[in-house]
Amino acid sequence: APKGVGALYIRDGVNIAKLMRGGAQERNQRPGTENTASIVAMGTALSLAVSEMQEETARISAMREHLEKRIFAEIPDVYLNGNREHRLPGTLNLRFPGAGSDAVLLSLDMEGLAASGGSACSAGAAEASHVLLAMGLSESEAKHSIRLSLGHMNTMEEVDQAVEILKRVVLRIRSISPVY
């Protein structure tokens, strides 16, 4: 859907504080006129997403499995952060001892591959991922971890390209690491 449109479901009996003051739209919850065109576009996007959800989930899961299988086969000393069974279809969080996430992420970015060291909502943060720390990883382990995400627009060819780039980057960084 277009940027700036969204939906909020509020369960009966739940009161929320107003974020803005003004008009009485949406049962006196917010000011302003609805962006009808964007609301219709969001509805269309939601309908399409729901109609393709099972097929798309299977396709993205297959790409993630392929990505994971190749990484574990071609890059030594790699660890999966999280549960192999209970996880989202399009994300893979991995730990590469001897290859700090800052160096890996910068190198991946320079090669045109986007990745993150934490959750999507904390991208760019210098601290170790609070989620990885809560899962029991040490700060050092969390700072050697990256998250790769796949989505609707990705292809298996891009997954294979990502493995080649990641392999090259991790092996290069480890080759100059004084602690690896």
What does the longest C-alpha to C-alpha distance in the chain come to? 62
Q: Is residue 171 within 8 Å of 125, Cβ to Cβ?
A: no
103 closest CA partner among 164, 160, 176, 161: 176
Q: Report d(CA 37, CA 109) in Å as an integer.
A: 35
141 closest CA partner among 167, 106, 176, 117: 117
Task: Single out the catalytic residue among 17, 19, 121, 153.
Answer: 121
Task: Extract the tokens encoding 167.
Answer: 């392999």
Q: Report d(CA 149, CA 66) in Å as an integer.
A: 13
Q: Is 88 one of the annotated active-site residues of the chain?
A: no
What amino acid positions are annotated as catalytic residues?
A: 121
